[in-house]
Amino acid sequence: MKKTLFAAFTMTIFSLGLGAQEITTIINQQKQKTMETNKNNSAVNHQFKPLPYAYDALEPYIDKMTMEIHYSRHHKAYFDNFIKAINGTPLEKMSMNELFENMSTLPAAVRNNGGGYYNHELFWENMAPGGVGMTERFEKMLKQQFGSVEKLKEEFANAGLTRFGSGWAWLNVDEKGNLFLSSTPNQDNPLMDVAEKRGTPVLAMDVWEHAYYLKYQNKRVDYINAFWNIINWKVVEERYDEAVVKNK
């Protein structure tokens, strides 16, 4: 289709008897138009990013089939429905943060699908095959704020376990740079104005059944225990640093 159009376009140019310079100008104008169209298209602002590793890369902690269905169907559906919900409305010009800050006033489709899209991006990124360890600095901070790393894990697991139905567990930074744990229902997150306690998430854990049911069935606790083996603490720390700098 593209080739045919291009051929027709070229034919038109030659039949008009234009010189090379004029052709270049026309082509550049076309390119400029395309770039402007893309800039105004929300699908360009919100990208469906590739999974940062293969579907089977988190085995044996998260199985290949769960990852494939989770990413290519659930996550993709949130993304597509989010774009559908904002397309052609003033919302398509707003950043995710702006949307989250005004969430209580926006349609449910934006809250559920925008949250779903964003939360899963964080989740994929804060996992890595075999996990990536934390620095001494971060470990010290966790000890200071939670007593010990074990205590943090225990409390984080508890946030995920006690979330009734579907939702997320979070490690967040507040405005003062202090870390705190929380959980949210459905596809809400701590950036939304509807959240019980607001902050910037640095670690996300999906506790929807679709995240673990194929391998762990009803044993959410086993999935949560396995999760610690695949956390990318480097990404968590980068998010922490970024949030603290932003809040200053």
Q: How far apart are the first and last CA of the chain?
A: 52
Cα separation, 32 vs 20, whole angstroms: 18
Cα separation, 136 vs 144, whole angstroms: 12
- Within positions 10 to 39, which residues make up the interface with Mn ion, using CB under 5 A? none
Return the number of the residue (124 or 233) whose C-beta is nearest Mn ion.
124
The answer to whether the Cα torsion of 63, 64, 65, 66 is positive or negative is positive
> Minimum distance between the CB of residue 125 and Mn ion, rounded to whole angstroms?
14
> Minimum distance between the CB of residue 227 and Mn ion, rounded to whole angstroms?
13
Helices marked H in 70-217 — which ranges?
Answer: 76-86, 96-101, 108-125, 136-146, 149-161, 213-216
Interaction between residue 121 and Mn ion (CB under 5 A): no
Q: What is the DSSP letter of 117?
A: H
Cα angle 58, 62, 64; round to 5: 80
Tell me the residue number closest to Mn ion, measured at CB. 206
Q: What is the DSSP letter of 107?
A: -
Return the number of the residue (188 or 206) whose C-beta is nearest Mn ion.
206
- Within positions 141 to 180, which residues make up the interface with Mn ion, using CB under 5 A? none
For Mn ion (CB under 5 A), the number of binding residues is 3
Return the number of the residue (208 or 240) whose C-beta is nearest Mn ion.
208
- What is the chain's percent helix, strand, coil content, to nearest 5? 60, 10, 30
Return the number of the residue (115 or 199) whose C-beta is nearest Mn ion.
115
Return the number of the residue (134 or 201) whose C-beta is nearest Mn ion.
201
> Minimum distance between the CB of residue 211 and Mn ion, rounded to whole angstroms?
5
> Minimum distance between the CB of residue 193 and Mn ion, rounded to whole angstroms?
22
> Minimum distance between the CB of residue 170 and Mn ion, rounded to whole angstroms?
14
> Minimum distance between the CB of residue 206 and Mn ion, rounded to whole angstroms?
4
- Within positions 174 to 213, which residues make up the interface with Mn ion, using CB under 5 A? 206, 208, 211
Return the number of the residue (146 or 208) whose C-beta is nearest Mn ion.
208
Taking CB atoms within 8 Å and a gap of at least 24, the contacts of 20-27 are: none
Helices marked H in 40-107 — which ranges?
Answer: 42-45, 64-69, 76-86, 96-101
> Minimum distance between the CB of residue 157 and Mn ion, rounded to whole angstroms?
18
Return the number of the residue (35 or 108) whose C-beta is nearest Mn ion.
108
**For binding to Mn ion (CB under 5 A), which residues are involved?**
206, 208, 211
